[in-house]
Amino acid sequence: MDKNTLLQVWPIPAFDDNYLWCIHDGKSALVVDPGDSGPVEDYLLQNQLTLKGILVTHHHADHTGGILNLLHRFGSDLPVYGPAGTNIPGRTVTVKEGDKVEIASPSISLKVFEVPGHTLSHIAYFANTQANIVDPMLFCGDTLFASGCGRLFEGTPTQMTQSLAKFAALPKNTLVYCTHEYTLSNIRFALAVEPDNQNLISWAEKAQALRAQHLPTLPTTIGQELQVNPFMRCDQPEVIAKAKEISGQADLPSPAHVLAVIRAWKDRF
């Protein structure tokens, strides 16, 4: 097999802790959430890649700030996919729940999920690429992080719970390309929620070793997050019990009530 036909996904570090993900086949590239243009330009030139399009998950500047420069530099006719209901600079294609983004080069088909919570119009892109001998991929912006979730700037705990439930239903081997390296601080909090979670304890050791070598802790997987991420475990007895203890509430009748408590706790942790 020609290795160039195989999709690859690489992180382009930007700012303090952002990853701008580049999807490419050795020749053609897409970039997800280019908050800055300089690191993307350098990466494309170093790897002799041609930019074919931009995918945007939400309107925050650290995910959109480089779009116009990239269009100026590489072609104002490049497609820029993004959510409706918000201003995305340079956006050419507005996508909503269930839409398919079909790109010829690099060859990839991405399904759109609406995932309100961090922002109201936040979307995610899912590629079920198993047929291409590559694990499924999820580009989730600031909705899901390794062992954590995004702050609720615009949405409600109920919306975030429903958004994370969409991710939980994806194949367990789905690679999750989160956009920030927040893993170690998320793990510190997750351990406060579930100090006896053995999967979390061993993940903490692995993540520390990766960061000690300045390596990304990402991508994570859906299967892994279901085992270690308190925000995806709001239906688990240990997490419910801790949320009751922290909030002093005897009854937390739904996972959204539990998520509301632990998200608020994390905000002040």
Q: Which residues bind Zn ion (CB under 5 A)?
A: 60, 142
Of residues 28 and 159, the one with the C-beta less far from Zn ion:
159
The answer for residues whose C-beta is within 8 angstroms of residue 216's C-beta and 6 or more apart is 11, 19, 181, 210
Minimum gap (Å) between residue 142 Cβ and Fe ion: 4
Binds 181: which of Zn ion, Fe ion, none (CB < 5-8 Å by kind)? none
From residue 129 to residue 148, what is the string marking binding to Fe ion with x (rule CB under 5 A)?
A: -------------x------
Q: How far is CA 229 from CA 139, 204, 263, in A?
A: 17, 12, 12
Residue 181 binds to Fe ion (criterion: CB under 5 A): no
Minimum gap (Å) between residue 60 Cβ and Fe ion: 5
Amino acid at 175: L
Minimum gap (Å) between residue 144 Cβ and Zn ion: 12
Of residues 25 and 62, the one with the C-beta less far from Fe ion:
62
Helix (H, G, I), strand (E, B) or coil at 216: coil
For 178-200, b/e burial (b = at least 16 CB within 10 A) is bbbbbbeebbebbbebbeebeeb
- Answer for which of 25, 36, 41, 62 binds Fe ion (CB under 5 A) is 62
- Cα–Cα distance, 50 to 47 (Å, whole number): 9
Q: Residues touching Fe ion: how many (CB under 5 A)?
A: 2
For 42-79, b/e burial (b = at least 16 CB within 10 A) is ebbeeeebebbbbbbbbbbebbbbbbebbbeebeeebe
Of residues 32 and 191, the one with the C-beta less far from Fe ion:
32
Minimum gap (Å) between residue 180 Cβ and Zn ion: 8
Minimum gap (Å) between residue 150 Cβ and Fe ion: 8
Neighbours of 248 (CB within 10 A): 7
Q: Which residues bind Fe ion (CB under 5 A)?
A: 62, 142
